[in-house]
Chains A and B, each alone.
Chain A
Amino acid sequence: SVEGDAIKVYVRVRPPSEGTALTDGDQGLCLSVLSSNTIRLHSKPEPKIFTFDYVANMETTQESVFSSVAKNIVESCMNGYNGTIFAYGQTGSGKTFTMMGPSDSDNFTHSLRGVIPRSFEYLFFLIEREKEKAGSAKSFLCKCSFIEIYNEQIFDLLDSASAGLFLREHIKKGVFVDGAVEQVLSSAAEAYQVLTTGWRNRRVASTSMNRESSRSHAVFTITVESMEKNNEVVNIRSSLLNLVDLAGSERQKDTHTEGLRLKEAGNINRSLSCLGQVITALVDVGNGKQRHICYRDSKLTFLLRDSLGGNAKTSIIANVHPGSRCFGETLSTLNFAQRAKLIKNKAVVNEDTQGNVS
């Protein structure tokens, strides 16, 4: 199917925090959900309509978010495809609630548990089912790692003592974090245990403007390896499931999502360190000419290169807060989500159009 590889984008609108919007009725809201895939932003002078693969309004249940966003990805992971689920949005837009569930409780059993615990349950449910069907012919090995990207440095959340780690590539295994701890998993509960332990090691910060906000991207990766014995032939298949919690979008000055802001000269005046990024942007328009850009992608995009316009199934959940005070951030989140939809599996083949045809 043609739509198969494009990134799927879901938008979820959280209910306004208690006491904010209800005081002045609908006037306090900056958007309304028109249907299950359109949203209207009350911008001035003209309201703006956005269309996505799915829009979850304030009443949508955790279960239904999971079924529309993640179920399919977990299934294709069992079939040997890589899958990635991103959560994006400003601090306070409900990312953690969507991904993990209500804070300060045992999310794993809570009725409001989020996408991640449900994905674990479903993945291990599918594995058990496969095992039952195939008997001893098929075996599975699940491993996970949990890393954090902060200030373009990589840290291992499963080994808080470790220093910065490096991204490397292997011709057979693709991109990997060199030296990241891998933990073997045997059940969904165990996976959740590992996740919550690592989650506590994340970097957060508070400023007088924002309440506590996460300043880093966290990437939880499950590797599913299946081994099937057919007579003498052994068939090994492996796939990755990445669950990514992005830093609050209001803090993402360093990535490409930021729109039009100017990069400031560094504190140390000698460094106009982002001049290179400006020039890079100039070179990008080079019409198909051979060029080399000296600046690598950000660590996050490099690590998830496969998920962004690669050989994988990817979903983005864009979380927004409906309050009119969040208008600016909501608009930029929706714009980001709109752009994400355009990311496709770009196969640039070096073809010589001058080729001799005759």
Chain B
Amino acid sequence: MAAAGGGWAAVCEKFRAARTLSAVESRKDPETEPYRSKYSARALLQEVKQLLSAAEEGDEARLLAVRRAVLEYELGVNHTDTEELSAGEEHLQRCTQLLEPHRLSPDCVSLYIQAQNNLGILWSERDEIKTAQTYLESAEALYNQYMKEDGNPPLDPSEHFMAEEEKLTDQERSKRFEKAYTHTLYYLAQVYQHLEMIEKAAQYCHTTLKRQLEYCGYYPVEWALNAATLSQYYLSKQCFMESRHCLAAASVIFSQAGQVPSAEDNETEEDQQDLRQRKAEIARCWIKYCLNLLQSARKLLEDNVGELDPDRQLELKAQRSKEEDEKEKGRKKAVLFGTSEICDSVLAMEEKVSSVYPLDFQEAREIFLVGQNYVQEAKEFFQVDGYVTDHIEIVQDHSALFKVLAFFEEDYERRCKMHKRRIDMLEPIYADLNPQYYLLISRQLQFELADTYYEMMDLKVAIGNRLEELDSHTIKKINSLAQLAIKYYELFLDSLRNPDKVFPEELEEDVLRPAMVAKFHIARLYGKLITSDSKKQLENMQTSLEYYTFLVDYCEKYPDAVRAVETELELSKEMVGLLPTKMERLRAKLCPFI
């Protein structure tokens, strides 16, 4: 070749300089000239291209074509990096054209895949995801074909401009090749997500994470957060085994983060803070795991009034002992993270909490306790001072854990105490919260407090019903719980009023159901209040009737609302029919002589 000897060395030197400028120097460019180094790199690449075309095309036509392809690739990436898409596309296309005949050979396959990756990115920047998809899927197919037919570590594109003695080891080649392919999968995950092929996207995310572990290409904290987030996807699909596996892996990998001394040895306060926050985030994912597992179990076990169904319980227990874990083992192989050592730690971590539905109080309690521990851990970082929203969300989860645990508790008194614990954690927060800034959370708390008091009242009534006669203490308790429930429902309804304190004529869709349920529950609560004073009783019935009537009238006026409150509406209609007669009778008793 003409550019042999010293000439070639100079070419290689220029090429290397261009790559350094582009990858290293460009990160130090001033904010006012973000692409300075990229532009200099581009100039160098053009020079190299000139030198190459000056070289005579001789017996080494193929070699020359491949080198040109490398340059076209570098220029293509350079142009897309600097927001010049059309020019970038031209270069990348020229690169793949040059390589087309040789794309399965070990010196070209990696470059070809990377060019297709970049064409995928380029077309997605033009909002043409389908086109991006074809490039990336073809890159994926090429990788698979190459691995099947050849499989030897292929050349890295940069080697085409290296002296013989600098060439990479097979191990390094393989590492770089696998990395390029990991990128293909990573981009495909995004493509599928944009095309709303959610399951496929999740699968590609999972594989990307797996490969990052396998090839040690990850930052522990980032990886752990990604795995923890993926666990939340599995939760939404009720795949508890996969979810737990992701979380266990997240916790294990996260613990590496502290051990590895960071590159800049003295870690700043800020980094420490950041690390603590990430740890708390993962804890919060665990909380959701425990909560979902418990709530799903409850759904399976409850009867039509929301109580634990003992027949169903026995049935599920029998079913469980029969069900081999074989099926699960098959699934497990598909998602397993990590190699031996990491894998063992992950499995040990998994042992600490079940991934099958709890079927009785004892089993539920174990999951509850794990969840509660993570609540404490998360709260250590997300303190109310500084992290109001996060802190309250965690407290709400804690309350939800108690709520679902109470479902499994058979003793009503103890169950009532669990709800009291919820009140004790929610009420002080609500009292401090400024609704001008936290209107939505404030509403959630009002509603939850109301509901909790409502539930406690129901429990007290049930306990009272077992007694021969209601004692005054129980009556007092029932009434005060009912009053508190009414208070919080009213606060919630008040929050819907406009600035002039007027209740909206028509309710917004997102508050329609809660508002109607609040009205309905208030109606019921007035019906439950116990008093020996008949006049008072009549008043309560009157109020109750008014609230029931609201529901009926509203649904008549806005028939669209019916769908949201079908059962409540039916019962309200019934009550609107019954109450006046009852009140008439009571009135007759009050003044028997009229």
Contact = CB atoms under 8 A, between A and B. Distances in A.
The DSSP consensus for interface residues of chain A is loop
Given A171-B429, A282-B205, 15 more contacts: A169-B388, A174-B436, A207-B34, A208-B35, A261-B124, A267-B27, A276-B225, A283-B232, A287-B236, A290-B292, A347-B508, A348-B510, A351-B513, A355-B517, A357-B571
Interface stretch (A28-36, A123-131, A187-195, A292-300): A292-300
Interface stretch (A56-64, A99-107, A198-206): A198-206
Interface string A325-358: 0000000000000000000111111111011111
Interface string B384-423: 1111110000001100100000000000000000000000
Interface in A279-306: 279-283, 285-287, 289-295, 306
Contact of A282 (B35, B201, B388, B436): B201
B189 A275 contact: yes
B32 A204 contact: yes
A344 B443 CA distance: 16
Q: Lowest 6 CB-CB distances: which A-B pairs, in order? A: A286-B236, A174-B437, A169-B388, A349-B514, A262-B124, A291-B232
B232 A215 contact: no
B438 interface: yes
Interface stretch (B45-53, B215-223, B314-322, B349-357): B215-223
Contacts of A209: 82-84
Contacts of B34: 205, 207
A273 B385 CA distance: 30
B232 A270 contact: no
A153 to B, nearest CB: 11
A121 to B, nearest CB: 25
Contact of A275 (B226, B288, B305): B226
6 contacts: A2-B506, A4-B498, A168-B386, A264-B121, A295-B229, A347-B514
B305 A294 contact: no
B514 A279 contact: no
A173 interface: yes
B510 A347 contact: yes
Contact of B447 (A175, A205, A291, A350): A350
Contacts of B116: none
Interface of A: 1-2, 4, 79-82, 168-175, 203-210, 215, 259-265, 267, 269-276, 278-283, 285-287, 289-295, 306, 310-311, 344-352, 354-358
B232 A347 contact: no
Contact of A347 (B35, B222, B511): B511
Contacts, number: 226
B204 to A, nearest CB: 9
A116 B16 CA distance: 51
A171 B441 CA distance: 11
Given A171-B433, A205-B34, A293 B443 contact: no
Contacts of B447: 349-351
B498 A206 contact: no
A349 to B, nearest CB: 4
Interface centre among A81, A274, A358 (most CB of B within 10 A): A358
A15 to B, nearest CB: 26
Interface residues of B, number: 101
Interface string B109-134: 00000000000110011010100100
Counting chain B CB atoms within 10 Å of each CB, the highest count among A172, A205, A215, A291 belongs to A291
B191 interface: yes
B384 A171 contact: yes
Contacts of A306: 437
A215 B31 contact: yes
Interface in B266-280: 278
A290 B233 CA distance: 10
Nearest to B292: A290
A294 B83 contact: no
Interface stretch (B90-98, B179-187, B547-555, B578-586): B179-187
B228 interface: yes
Given A175-B437, A279-B230, A347-B440, A294 B282 contact: yes
Nearest to A170: B388
B212 to A, nearest CB: 7
Given A206-B32, A348-B440, A283 B281 contact: no
A79 B179 CA distance: 58
A260 B192 CA distance: 11
Contacts of A264: 121
